[in-house]
Structure 1
Amino acid sequence: MPSVSRRTLLKSSAALAGVGITVVAAGTAAAAPGAPAVGFAHGIASGDPLPDRVIIWTRVTPSPDAQPGSGVGASISLEWQVATDPGFATIVRSGTVTANADTDHTAKVDVTGLKPATSYHYRFTARGGAVAGQVSPVGRTRTAPANDADLARLRFGVVSCSNWEAGYFSVYRHLAQREDLDAILHLGDYIYEYGRGEYGGRNGAVRPHDPAHEIVSLADYRIRHAQYKTDPDLMDLHARLPFIATWDDHESADNSFDGGAENHNPATEGDWATRKASSTRAYFEWMPVRVTGSSTEITLYRRFQFGNLAEISMLDLRTYRDEPAASGAGWRQVDSPDRTIAGGAQMDWLTKGIVSSPARWKIVGNPVMIAPCVFPPLDTKTTAALTDMIGVPDAGIPYNTDQWDGYSADRRRLFDAITAAGVDNTVFLTGDIHTSWACDLPIDAANYPAGPTVGTEFVVPSVTSPNIDEKLGAPPRSVSVAAEEGFKAVNRHVRYVELDSHGYGVFEIATAGSQMDWFYISDPADPNAAVHHAASYRVADGAQRTFPVGAPLDPAAYRPGA
């Protein structure tokens, strides 16, 4: 069974089976039909909440020619305000920021001096140029609790893989309707880089990408980010809740690594370093993420503490990784101690953070799956001679070397450190593979369930990006079911897998245990898609193993700050 890229991976899986906030119109000047909008046409957003600060973001279009990616347009002074009420009767922080062509007329403010665990409202007002006096939509955000706060629970919406062409973002609409969430965790593939028609779903390109070609230049990435920011459901969700986001690969190019990408051709698309720098710059311009790192290297991986209950480490697993191992003779590369998925500095940061965390729960925002998924799992103590002779990895043949399975030495170092420190309650939240999984994390998959585990993993499905049934053109819940049962039979630590549906997760962290609820939408091609609860799995405090529960979390049982 060859190890393959994610797009082929979905095919091979199938083969195995045989507050009312108005967002869209506010702050945008009226324009003649077909004329480019000016003003705050891309909404507002917030993110990266800390106890005393939060990022607020917007983009202003100062004139019809100053569209995203154009590189033209006058500099505009924006007044920003943060208040404790939506009517801005009590403004607690304010200031000015300049939006200009150098930042694609985006503006981002790290608002400091705020109170912990407090809800705020924010807005921007243009103070110059042709858009003077225009006011942005009003956003709502919330700071994190104090680091020493004694918390009983937290809840997050969890999403990944939102491809504009594959459907509408009704997932975001359903999340925006909930009032029991502290923030949204976006685990990557917020945008997709493909050209028109290159990567749709069952219905082809439901709505066309801009620009029409695959995005490569800085202007391209800016235009694509801007397009996604016009989706009304995404705009609404950004206006209601802070995001804590990381990237996976499609924010730059499919199956990217430190020196290139599977979906990058240097002969026709130029130098990879230039393309990666362009995608990175556009991401930091257009996303409500805090810039961290040194003057020579901006880093995306970062950590958030929520009182004494949880610490969330968001990973970057594309910037520093070695090129994924090839199938066949290259399979043995996955065991090499010299290969890394996280890079030395990030791995050291992650390991030290988990083993020294004062929080009850250690949560990892993990762009690619960490649970072993091999065929079959092998006991390295008894099969080493055989695997060496036939030239396959020690623990078995990996299903997908783009995941942690392709970098088993890094995973082993992390798992060994967690075990040696006696740490429990480590939960990985993962996206990337468009499907839903609940897994225990065994030290030795061949000896599961008898052997020890180091944590658990919950994988959320895609918002829209195509899954197994769509790749086959088969009815949902038909041929994929056999593949799901095959995965669970061979990899017994996989407790739940669903390969067809699109949707989102709601993840609760509580003192007694943590729970993931999976919700699936009826059809990504339907802008009014309905949603239903599909499954729930829970891990008890100190247990390190998942178990199914019959009912989802009660949305009325929790309100942030209540």
Structure 2
Amino acid sequence: MKIDRRGLLGLFGAGTASCATVAGTGPVAAVDVRFDHGVASGDPAPDSVVLWTRVTPPEGFDGTLTVVVTIGSTPDFAAATIRTLTTGPDRDYTVKLVADGLEPGRDYSFQFGVGERVSPVGRTRTLPAGVTPEVTLAVVSCQLYPGGLFNAYDAIAGLERLDAVVHLGDYIYEYGAEDDAYGMATGRRLNRLPDPPHEIVSLADYRRRHAQYKTDPDLQAAHARAPFICVWDDHEVTNDSWVSGAENHQPETEGDYAVRKAAALRAYYEWMPIREAAPGTLAEAINRTFHFGDLASLMMVETRLTARTAPLSYGDLTMKHGPDGTPVPDVEAFMARRNDPARELLGDTQRAWLGRELAQSRQVGRPWQILGNQVVMARVQGPDVTTMLPPAQIERMMAGLTPDIRAQVEQVIGLFKLGVPFNLDAWDGFPAARERLYKTFAEAGVQPLVLAGDSHAFWVNELHDDAGDRRAVEFGTSAVSSPSPADALGNLPLGMALSAANEEVVFCDQASKGFVLMTLTPDRADVALMAVSTIFAKPYELRAVKRYRVDHTPAGAGALIEV
């Protein structure tokens, strides 16, 4: 017998009030609720997936609500399973259910309801088990709400085949709406202003910012299309964060960093379709593995809050007396600090876990091991453009920059002439830790596919250890909407300069916005760098900037081939 939606809710005690039902033992009261933030799913397994929504109660309401979740193997819910749970102000009226008892490699539809109010219908997919001929992943990162429209998510929502979206961090940003705040020149033009309008610090602030992001229709569409597999980077807390501090945290005005971090992580777990931290474990330890049948293992690592030591900056360059007595930068001392073996990103515990996961994946015969990693891993030295371009060409390019940008570019050009890395907040700021990771790859007998976000640029890199042996292939995704350095540089060809200056950099695009689309089969990995034509308007066009193929070999990733 087919039971319609109203019948299902009535049978399972969700009530038939015209609005929401209030949990409790007293009379049922009608509460007018909405589902302003869409629906989402995440952390898929072969037999389960996390389902998420947020119920928006009327202003001033602070009671608990009963929520019914319907899960069906078809969009019309002809054969459906019903779960009931409650939510309230203690978790900001977010709803999270680990829907279990599902079948592997299957699409499911889901919907939330309170009374007769229902959410949009979402679509999710469990991980496959056993023989798996193909997996398709969309890889995203860095979505600054004021930075532009989330057209990349609209494109992802329209993909015909998609098993999961891999999000590498910077899902939200912490900055306020001041005129000089990050991305606000675009934000004011597009009327995409941060809420709250100040930098977020408290739990209420982080909740409001997450809520604003999930009102974006394109992001909602992508969440309703496929499960997300997420890890945070720094901006989910605050810029350039590490274990005990952050560049964008000032204790004298913003309080205890540990309190701020705890608030940020609580809001993240409330508002994201991610499994809760296991009892007795650190909330920061969200490294975890996803097995796609017999085809691939995806290891998501955490590089910010569990082990990262404080980053270096170019301001750490001290001066020394040169041969003629005049002050010159002490590059040798700076590089010695950079190469300090104590500098860490993953930490011993997480690296040992990763080694076991990689080795086990290879031992059971999965051809692909994928590392969901936040920051660029390749060796990327800042390009000395004075040796690459004629002075007159450089001057013509510089002439088109605003005075403040020109001053910054001139400073950076001077730094790069010294041979310093392009980005000290990436793995290049932690070379000893990177070498330990490469040793872990070698001991596990794998050459994984490394995914990277954070940089707001597309990257295709071949990674080598200090001995020159290739250890992995890296694909970096550009931002959904966050600005790139190239956005302010006019005609300066930064991506081309980085490719020319670095042996490990096969390709770099510092201008395009979009996502990486990866399709895996037992014999090969096909990777496309997908760019949207604009983040400032609709409609837009979607194109592949570059396409690459990596064939599988007994050692893992084979030759990198542009197609």
* TM bracket, shorter-chain basis: 0.7 to 0.9
Structure 1: 5+ residue runs without aligned partners?
Answer: 1-27, 30-36, 67-72, 127-131, 378-391, 550-562
Cα displacement string for residues 432-465 of structure 1 (whole angstroms, at most 9, x for unaligned residues): 0000010011123xx7xxx420110000100110
Q: CA deviation at 1:202?
A: 6.3
**1:325 matched residue in structure 2:** 312
**1:338 matched residue in structure 2:** 342
**1:495 matched residue in structure 2:** 506
CA–CA distance in 2 between the matches of 1:276 and 1:64?
A: 28
Instruction: Tell me whether 1:185 sits opposite 2:166 in the alignment.
Output: yes
**Matched AA of 2:532:** I
**Matched AA of 2:121:** V
Residue in structure 2 matching 1:356, options 354, 360, 371:
360
CA–CA distance in 2 between the matches of 1:414 and 1:470?
A: 33
TM-score normalised by L of structure 1: 0.81
Q: CA deviation at 1:201?
A: 6.7
Cα displacement string for residues 194-221 of structure 1 (whole angstroms, at most 9, x for unaligned residues): 0014111763543101000001100000
CA–CA distance in 1 between the matches of 2:174 and 2:54?
A: 21
CA–CA distance in 1 between the matches of 2:359 and 2:441?
A: 6
**1:453 matched residue in structure 2:** 470
Which stretch of structure 1 is more off in the superposition, 187-196 or 288-297? 288-297
1:307-456 to 2 correspondences below 5 Å: 307-320=293-306, 321-327=308-314, 328=317, 329-357=333-361, 358=364, 359-374=366-381, 397-424=420-447, 426-444=448-466, 451-456=468-473
How large is the RMSD of aligned CA atoms in angstroms?
2.3
**Matched AA of 2:355:** T
**Matched AA of 2:310:** E
Cα displacement string for residues 155-201 of structure 1 (whole angstroms, at most 9, x for unaligned residues): 11111100100111111001111111111111111111100141117
**Secondary structure at the counterpart of residue 514 of structure 1:** strand
Larger radius of gyration: 2
Instruction: Tell me whether 1:143 sits opposite 2:126 in the alignment.
Output: yes
Q: CA deviation at 1:153?
A: 1.6
The alignment of Structure 1 onto Structure 2 pairs a total of residues equal to 475
Instruction: Tell me whether 1:512 sits opposite 2:519 in the alignment.
Output: no
Cα displacement string for residues 206-265 of structure 1 (whole angstroms, at most 9, x for unaligned residues): 310100000110000000000011001111111111101111111110100001111111
Q: CA deviation at 1:300?
A: 1.4
**Secondary structure at the counterpart of residue 374 of structure 1:** coil
**2:267 matched residue in structure 1:** 282
CA–CA distance in 2 between the matches of 1:289 and 1:237?
A: 16
CA–CA distance in 2 between the matches of 1:455 and 1:237?
A: 29
Instruction: Tell me whether 1:65 sits opposite 2:60 in the alignment.
Output: yes
Q: CA deviation at 1:540?
A: 1.3
CA–CA distance in 2 between the matches of 1:464 and 1:262?
A: 22
Residue in structure 1 matching 2:72, options 83, 89, 110:
83
**1:94 matched residue in structure 2:** 82
Cα displacement string for residues 274-295 of structure 1 (whole angstroms, at most 9, x for unaligned residues): 0000000000000001123442
CA–CA distance in 2 between the matches of 1:421 and 1:156?
A: 24
Q: 1:297 to 1:133 in 2, by over 3 A?
A: same
**1:237 matched residue in structure 2:** 222
Q: CA deviation at 1:313?
A: 0.7
Q: CA deviation at 1:410?
A: 1.6
CA–CA distance in 1 between the matches of 2:449 and 2:350?
A: 18
Residues 64 and 88 in structure 2, CA contact (< 8 A), matched pair in contact too: yes
**1:114 matched residue in structure 2:** 102
**Matched AA of 1:548:** E
Structure 2: 5+ residue runs without aligned partners?
Answer: 1-17, 20-31, 318-332, 385-414
By relative contact order (CA 8 Å, sep 6+), the higher-ranking structure is: 1
CA–CA distance in 2 between the matches of 1:224 and 1:318?
A: 20
**Secondary structure at the counterpart of residue 138 of structure 2:** strand
Q: CA deviation at 1:42?
A: 0.9
Q: 1:164 to 1:87 in 2, by over 3 A?
A: same
CA–CA distance in 2 between the matches of 1:278 and 1:268?
A: 16
Instruction: Tell me whether 1:157 sits opposite 2:138 in the alignment.
Output: yes
Instruction: Tell me whether 1:465 sits opposite 2:469 in the alignment.
Output: no
1:197-346 to 2 correspondences below 5 Å: 197=178, 198-200=181-183, 203-205=186-188, 206=190, 207-298=192-283, 299-320=285-306, 321-327=308-314, 328=317, 329-346=333-350
Which stretch of structure 1 is more off in the superposition, 202-211 or 340-349? 202-211
**1:546 matched residue in structure 2:** 560
**Matched AA of 2:501:** V
Residues 439 and 546 in structure 1, CA contact (< 8 A), matched pair in contact too: no
**1:34 matched residue in structure 2:** none
**Secondary structure at the counterpart of residue 349 of structure 2:** helix
Residues 161 and 189 in structure 1, CA contact (< 8 A), matched pair in contact too: yes
Residues 457 and 508 in structure 2, CA contact (< 8 A), matched pair in contact too: yes
**Secondary structure at the counterpart of residue 266 of structure 2:** helix
Cα displacement string for residues 130-163 of structure 1 (whole angstroms, at most 9, x for unaligned residues): xx321111111110011xx122221111111001
Q: CA deviation at 1:296?
A: 4.8
Q: 1:491 to 1:469 in 2, by over 3 A?
A: closer
**Matched AA of 2:244:** G
CA–CA distance in 2 between the matches of 1:376 and 1:250?
A: 27
CA–CA distance in 1 between the matches of 2:47 and 2:352?
A: 27
Residues 169 and 527 in structure 1, CA contact (< 8 A), matched pair in contact too: no
Residues 202 and 471 in structure 1, CA contact (< 8 A), matched pair in contact too: no
